[in-house]
């Protein structure tokens, strides 16, 4: 258990939109600096008829930009698209 465990409570994010779910988790991390959130549970229930998660492109773009600034972004949409169609 880390020294931050008592300061950070478990986080449950329950959203229909994948981008909104990750945005809530990201904001929680920014507002509660430390080394861990445990447990962090993200539940996404909104899916299109083809099985794709419902997303908000503006929110996803903002998250990717914020992660990139921090040197943490590893998303490659072209690779994602190729993987899904393979």
pLDDT at 55: 96
- Give tens-digit pLDDT for 31-70: 888 877 788 999 999 999 999 999 999 999 999 999 888 8
Asked if 8 and 1 touch (Cβ cutoff 8 Å), the reply is no
Residues 15-35 have pLDDT tens digits of 999 999 999 999 998 888 887
Kindly report the pTM of this predicted structure.
0.70
Using CA atoms, how far apart are residues 70 and 52, in angstroms rounded to an integer?
28
Of 83, 33, 52, the closest CA to residue 60 belongs to 52
């Amino acid at each position: 258990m880390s020294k931050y465990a008592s300061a950070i409570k478990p986080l449950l994010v329950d959203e229909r939109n994948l981008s909104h779910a990750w945005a809530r988790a990201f904001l929680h991390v920014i507002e509660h600096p430390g080394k861990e959130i445990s447990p962090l549970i993200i539940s996404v229930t909104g899916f299109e008829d083809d099985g794709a998660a419902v997303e908000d492109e503006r929110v996803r773009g903002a998250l990717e930009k914020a992660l990139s600034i921090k040197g943490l972004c590893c998303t490659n949409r072209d690779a994602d698209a190729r993987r899904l169609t393979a």
